[in-house]
Amino acid sequence: MALPVGRTGPYGRDGVWLEDIQVFGVVGPDAWHRSGRPQPIHISVKVPISYQEAGITDDLNGSIHYGRLAKSIMELFNDQAAPFASLGELVEAISKKALLEFVQANSLELVINLPEALLLADGLGLSTYVNKIEPPPGLDNESRLQHAGLKLYVKDLRLNCIIGINPHERLEKQPVVVNLEFWNFDRHLLVEYDRTVKKISVVRLRFIAPALLINVLTFLQTVEASSCETLEALANSIAKTLVLSCPVNMTTVSVHKPRAITEVKKAGVTVTRTRDFYDSQTNGTHTPP
Chain segment 72-125, per-residue pLDDT in tens? 999 999 877 788 888 888 888 999 999 988 888 889 999 999 999 888 889 988
How high is the pLDDT of residue 183? 82
Q: Is pLDDT above 50 for 188?
A: no
Note every long-range contact of 218-226, with CB atoms under 8 Å and residues 24 or more positions apart, other chains counting: 219/245, 219/246, 220/157, 220/159, 220/178, 221/159, 223/159, 223/161, 223/176, 223/178, 224/159, 224/160, 224/161, 224/173, 225/161, 226/161, 226/162, 226/163
> Is the pLDDT assigned to residue 268 strictly greater than 70?
yes
Distance CA 196, CA 204 (A): 12
> pLDDT tens digits, residue range 245-260?
777 788 999 999 987 7
Query: How many whole angstroms separate alpha carbon 236 and alpha carbon 216?
Result: 15
Between 266 and 222, whose confidence is greater?
Answer: 266
100 by DSSP, 3-state: which?
helix
- Decide: pTM greater than 0.85: no
Q: Which residue has the higher pLDDT, 193 or 184?
A: 184
Helices (H) and strands (E) in the chain, counts: 7, 10
Pairing of strands 107-114, 39-48: antiparallel
Q: Give the pLDDT of residue 150.
A: 82
pLDDT tens digits along 36-58: 899 999 999 999 988 777 777 78
Domains in the chain (CATH in brackets) are: 1-132 (3.30.1130.10)
The DSSP output letter for 245 is H
